[in-house]
Amino acid sequence: INLTAIDEHREVAGRHAFLAGQKKDLESSLVSLREAISRIDRTSRERFSHTFEVVNERFQRVFPRLFGGGRAGLLLTEEGPTGEPGVEIVAQPPGKKLQSVTLLSGGEKALTAVALIFAIFLIKPTPFCLLDEVDAPLDEGNVGRYNDLLREMSKQSQFIVITHNKKTMEVADTLYGATMEEPGISKLVSVRLREAADDAALAALATLKVR
């Protein structure tokens, strides 16, 4: 006869009740977590679908402005192993067939990427944007259209542009550069082009009045 059986039963029963309660809480939490994941997934898909349509519409408008014609768009590819669809960029520069962006030349790829970035930026602009040698692979005609769009977008955001292109420098309000007047000694210089242009215009106006 086990004289401690009653006490042991009471202890084991209490332990069983505690574990059963923990199991119930975990199952309830698992159900809530699955519902939250399903809700987040559904909301994410809805927002992605809406954003995709808006970006695609803006991309179709920005692309011909930068290329001087042509057309482009975004396509959703089939869902992969994870169940998530991919995005493919198709573009048709002037005088070419509609094709995947991977088949374009280096300059065309760069300009298409710029068009997509600007399309996204126009939908949700930020206070400032940094562009590092974006215009390097572009020819003169494309650089001109790129600068026109950049100037238009600068009305709502500040752009910091790193470039060696003279045409891009000409549309800037302020230039910052580094020079080496003496060997081994670098010096930073800045030029406010907008103020210089205004001063030159005032000087020319004053000259006309004197004449």
Q: Render pLDDT for 126-165 as a digit per residue (tens, 0 to 9).
A: 888 888 888 888 888 788 888 888 888 888 888 888 888 8
Q: How many C-beta neighbours within 10 Å does residue 160 have?
A: 11
By percentage, how much of the chain surpasses pLDDT 70?
Answer: 88
Residue 3 has pLDDT above 90, yes or no: no
63-67, 80-84, 121-125, 177-181: segment of lowest average pLDDT: 80-84
Q: How far is CA 69 from the centre of its chain?
A: 23
DSSP-assigned letter for residue 68: T
CB pairs under 8 A, 24+ apart, for 2-11? none
The arithmetic mean of pLDDT across residues 99-111, rounded, is: 83
The rounded distance, in Å, linking the Cα atoms of 137 and 118 is 17
What is the band of 5 on the pLDDT scale with cuts at 50, 70, 90?
confident
Going by C-beta distance under 8 Å and a sequence separation of 6 or more, which residues neighbour residue 119? 55, 58, 59, 61, 62
Sign of CA dihedral 58, 63, 65, 66: positive
Nearest to 168 by CA among 155, 156, 191, 151: 151
For position 76, what pLDDT does the model report?
85
- What pTM did the predictor assign? 0.69
* CA proximity to 153, closest of 177, 176, 131: 131
| 144 phi-psi bin (left φ>0, alpha ψ -120 to 50, beta other) | alpha
Q: Give the chain's end-to-end CA distance (angstroms, integer).
A: 128
> 59 by DSSP, 3-state: which?
helix
Alpha helix (H) residue ranges in the chain: 5-67, 106-123, 140-153, 166-170, 193-210
Q: pLDDT class for 209, splitting at 50, 70, 90? A: very low
Structure tokens at 180: 């080496």
